[in-house]
A and B are shown apart, each in its own frame.
Chain A
Amino acid sequence: MKIIRILSTLDRRIIFLLVGLGILIPLLKPLGIPENITPPVRDVYQFIDTLPPGSAILLSVDYDASVLPEVHPMFLSILRHAMLRKVKVIGIALNPAGVGLGVQAFDRISKEFGKKYGEDYVYLGFKPNMAATMLGLGEEIHKVFPTDYYGIPLDSLPMMKEIHSYRDIALVISFSGANIPALWVSYAYSRYGQKVAAGVTAVMAADYYPFLQTGQFIGMLGGMKGAAEYEDLVNRLLQKKGYRKPMPFAIKGMDSITVVHLLIILFIILGNLGYFLQKKEVK
């Protein structure tokens, strides 16, 4: 009884320390728990995997660095998958604080696969007013973005000569820690019938299940778990094709999350034991 009472009144600094260790130790020594692939992630993977080479997808950087650990690995894995499958990629950013993340990701992954800017991928950067941008892309991309992020006229980029609107884009994937993927449904899917998928934080994932059920999203990557599942699928493909496996950021992160989830469950049990013990004593 005394032990339970002590454990149910732990100082918050001890909790902070345990959580810190719970995050740190699995990062240094991964547990290697295999990922089980859930249907929403498999759907996105299969859609990109079955696209004919030369098709185009649009990746929208709608997140910033605050959700980087969860969302950035999704972006990297999908970009890797698309480039591996010779799918052309257009990058845009609807979150001004995330523009640099797109630059970093495109630069890194294009080097891995020796892809050429303007022929295999383009990065258009930020545009204010999300609704107008999403609607404008359905009419004429060259009008919404006359130049790319680096100031190069879009008409001079070989890849963009054949891409003018959603009609030329097989899929839009919005990466976000907020409600921007829902706006893609409202403006790109509802108005133009554009296929949309989302990569979102775990906190936001619950909000998007209605869109999955109706088919307004073809699939979804939710939180670090979704990122780890996609990373696992892409790493298997890379291995099969003879490429070197990249550092599995999300899979390692998922090990930390597993430990922290177990810790939180333990804390809740301890807190409740103390609560019921106290209640019994009062009676």
Chain B
Amino acid sequence: MLQRKIPLFIVFLMGFLMTVQFYIPHPVSQTLYKYVLDWMNGVASMAIVLAVGSLIMHHWRRLKKPEFALYSAVTLVSLFFMAILGFFFGIREGSLFQKMFENVQIPLQATMFSLLAFYMASAAYRAFRARNLEATLLLLSAFILMIGIIPLGYYIHPRISDFALWILNVPNLAAKRGIMIGVGLGMMATSLKIILGIERNWLGG
């Protein structure tokens, strides 16, 4: 019982206090705010320890399953190898740690993401069809933006570039703002539900 009630009480108390202190610029509320910031840093650092521990435990268990063993072994070896390099041989430019980052991690990550260009071109060719009015509007916007955003578009006619910016600044902005206001209201509602203990999924179980 207390396992649920104590976290709920802490969330209610801190949620209430932090909301109130935002609107009251009194020295007491400022001191409380600074205290909470220090605590947040401490909690975040603990979360990193918890995350690394959880990662190690998860992959340690998977080592026993032949279908996942290789991937988990690579993850664990990489984790410990980079940690040892960093701790014992330094992290400055020119260190082995930094060289591993520049010559292994950067090419791997950049290559994975670069593959998107090929798949996007292929997908656009196969699926981008003017099937109905909405799809045609999307197609036309994409056309104008793709031409307007490249320097060539400006030199074909400066108005193309202006029109592309107009699409971003007016219809795109209106849609995005609507979405953002909706998300903001949703966040406020969810936060209130959590503070008041109505929403309890975060407790797990």
Contact = CB atoms under 8 A, between A and B. Distances in A.
A272 B41 CA distance: 54
Nearest to B152: A258
A192 interface: no
Interface in B8-41: 34, 37-38, 40-41
What is the size category of the interface that chain A forms with chain B? 35 or more
Contacts of A205: 168
A211 to B, nearest CB: 9
B184 to A, nearest CB: 10
A69 B110 contact: yes
7 contacts: A12-B122, A65-B107, A97-B105, A129-B44, A150-B91, A265-B146, A272-B130
B43 A65 contact: no
A132 B40 contact: yes
A237 B152 CA distance: 23
Contacts of B146: 261, 264-265
B109 A104 contact: no
Interface string A247-283: 0000000100110111111011011100100000000
B122 A16 contact: yes
A265 B151 CA distance: 15
B151 A150 contact: no
Interface stretch (A28-36, A44-52, A77-85): A28-36
Given A33-B155, A132-B40, A139 B34 contact: yes
B180 interface: yes
B151 to A, nearest CB: 4
- Main SS of the interface on chain B? helix
A64 B154 CA distance: 31
Given A38-B165, A68-B106, A103 B91 contact: yes
B57 interface: no
B121 A128 contact: no
A215 to B, nearest CB: 13
B120 interface: yes
A265 B140 CA distance: 11
Given A33-B155, A271-B125, A103 B92 contact: yes
Interface string B128-172: 111000000001001100110111101100100100010011001
A6 interface: no
A14 B146 CA distance: 22
B121 A267 contact: yes
Contact of A15 (B40, B113, B122, B165): B122
Interface in B61-102: 91-93, 98, 101-102
A156 interface: no
Contacts of B121: 15-16, 18-19, 260, 263-264, 267
Interface of A: 10, 12, 15-16, 18-20, 23, 33-36, 38, 64-69, 97, 100-101, 103-104, 107, 127-129, 131-133, 135-136, 139, 143-144, 149-150, 202, 205-207, 209-210, 213, 223, 225, 228, 254, 257-258, 260-265, 267-268, 270-272, 275
Contacts of B47: 128-129
Ranked nearest first, the 9 interchain pairs of A and B with the lowest CB-CB distance are A129-B44, A132-B40, A65-B109, A100-B101, A267-B125, A66-B113, A107-B93, A36-B154, A128-B44
Contact of A10 (B45, B113, B125, B177): B125
B41 A132 contact: yes
A14 B130 CA distance: 23
A265 B143 CA distance: 7
A212 to B, nearest CB: 8
A120 to B, nearest CB: 16
Given A206-B176, A209-B176, A263-B121, A271 B126 contact: yes
B203 interface: no
A268 B150 contact: no
Nearest to B173: A209
A67 to B, nearest CB: 7
Nearest to A126: B48
